[in-house]
Amino acid sequence: MKTIAILFGAAALLAGCASAPPDRFYTLDSGGATPAPAAAAASPLYIEVLPVTIPAQVRRSQLVVTEGEGRVDLLEHHRWAGPLADEVGRALSLDLVTGLGALDVYRTPTPQGAAPYRIGTTVQRFESAPGAYALLDATWSLRKTGSDAVLACRSVFREEVGAGYEALVAGHRAALAKLAGAIGAALKRQEAGGSGC
């Protein structure tokens, strides 16, 4: 009798495990894009995308979604493929490398005389509202190594999204691509002797 009870208990436990939804993992890396050709092989453009800072509320492996005013939910079965700050930084780096034909040499030795542009990013808000919008609010800075001049800017991008978490992540990818575009445009202006965000 005891054996039968144990078998029923094990069967119930297995049934419970089988009905749990599968975990889904998401990345902000758009992937597949071909980098723009480098401007000149003799003097490539170097950048250093520094580690990104993100708000503590979203510094989790789970997707954190906005559900009504002042309420957020942690989605236990919908997670980022890596730490969110790393995901944001990697996506930003790849978008900049792709758009500028640059080399991201953060933590990599650079040739003598090279003067990389250091890019710092602090995400103020990273909001995810399923079926509504993905919002990215970030301050960022740009400084050429060896120069004391620092350009500090703020960019806010809100992408309307459809239903589903894939659409929400795609909205964040689009917002990050726009942020990379704004940073890249400012960097090109500086290279041409201009200034401004």
Q: What is the dihedral of CA 56, 57, 60, 62, to 10 degrees?
A: -170
Question: Domain holding 107: CATH number?
Answer: 3.40.50.10610
Nearest to 123, CA basis, from 40, 64, 164: 64
In a domain, 59, yes or no: yes
**Average confidence (pLDDT) over 92-106:** 95
Q: What is the mean pLDDT of residues 49-68?
A: 94
**pLDDT bucket at 39, cuts 50 / 70 / 90:** very low
Helix (H, G, I), strand (E, B) or coil at 122: strand
**CA separation for the pair 165, 160 (Å, rounded):** 13
Is residue 40 over pLDDT 50? no
Count of H-run helices and E-run strands, the chain: 3, 8
Provide the CA 101 distance to its chain's centre, in angstroms.
19
Inside any domain, residue 7:
no
Rounded Cα gap, residues 175 and 168, in angstroms:
11
Q: Is the pLDDT of residue 74 over 70?
A: yes
> What's the whole-model pTM score?
0.85
Domain-located, residue 16:
no
Residues in the chain, total: 197
Per the structure, the count of domains in the chain is 1
Quick one: pLDDT band at residue 70, thresholds 50, 70, 90?
confident
Residue 1 predicted with pLDDT over 60: no
pLDDT in tens, 104-158: 999 998 888 889 999 999 999 999 999 999 999 999 999 999 999 999 999 999 9
Residue 8 located in a structural domain? no
Residue 134 lies in a domain: yes
Domain range enclosing 86? 23-191
